Structure 1
Amino acid sequence: MRLLFHLPLSPFARKVRLALAEKRIPFDTRIERVWERREDFLAMNPACTVPVLVEDNGLTIADSNAICEYLDEAYPDMPLLGRTLAERAEVRRLVAWFDGKFHAEVGMNLLYEKQMKRLMGRGNPDASAIRAGYANLRPHLEYVGWLAETRPWLAGTSLTLADLAAAAHLSALDYIGDVDWSQNEAAKDWYARMKSRPSFRPLLADRVSGLTPPEHYANLDF
């Protein structure tokens, strides 16, 4: 059975978990505490980050985008990167937006400061960073809402990796209660559609020791 090394609240690992589930590819998961820097894991991924996917034949792939590109090429049923060149360009643009801009402006200021920093033994949360994260989240929610209002799915007419990336980042923040969904109804409605997909059920069942999600986290109707 293929194996995915992950952390429950890693948005990058969540994106890959969603991609595998949408493609109906069976896999097992193993939590990798990257801050422990295990030698065996470093041999698989010298960057010492999750996710890392190990295929049945031993093929090892690190980095969420490398994994998702591989999955779309190796398992072309249910394409997640779009069908035309224009669609694929837009999907990649939005994936880069959420994995890069959103993560830097919101995720690092909230999820990292409030959760990961403590686990990694890197000191106390930075209050100014947390304030910046909350301030940055609003325009990002507005952008998600605008995309959801003007297109059937974020990148166009069908569900793609752009939706999975956005939902992965937002779901990790939602677990720690940091998303005020009342700020944008269109974004909330899109996320409710995402939460209702079978691929999302394992994420909604995630529980992190010592950290209980808000009641609405696993509630499909908020």
Structure 2
Amino acid sequence: MSTPMPEVVCPHDLLMQLAYAYGIGDFVRAGTMERGEWCERVFPHVWSLKVGSGLPSVMEKLSGPAIFWLDAGGAGDELAETFTEPPCDVLEQITAIRSDTREHYVFIDHAELLLAPPHRPHRIDHWPTIDRVLDTLRVAWEPYIVVQGGVLMAVPERARNLVARYCQEENTHLWMQRRGVKPSAVASVERSRERLSELVRLARDSKERAAA
């Protein structure tokens, strides 16, 4: 049996901010996701795909730019033991997404399996290298790409500042925790994150009222 992979923390706050700021109504979940029911309370349309299933049929039903949560962790121990087929189909999924003319938001969990070869007993050639992933993400248009908390994020240029601020706040919080900064300072960072989320919600509400 393979060694458990590091836990990936889903950036719920960031997904919510993106949805509210850019009016994203579709969330496509291809693979596993902790607290998966959370997205159903935020997005009007949630599409769940099993590992190895195709995206084309879902792409046709999207109402606009969507958030995609892809899984680089493979299909689980059963494929790790038999190696009957490549367990990671991230490249195929990205290719399907990039075939669409809309600028979508792509999140890939277990990014450590793309940054370096996977742990045993997985086969190295069953995972794409990070350069191939980045090249495929850059087909058609140039996204803003970062890796944060074990998740590779590729978003349109319009969302660069929002994602960059989120990552900076997260890294500041971790930096303060590691250095034993007093709780009051950490709480200040938490309040800053909450204010950012509230501003995004207010902007979304204002936009909806103006359109009514």
TM-score by length of 2: 0.36
Structure with the greater alpha carbon radius of gyration? 2
Q: Tell me which protein shows more helix as a share of its residues.
A: 1
TM-score by length of 1: 0.35
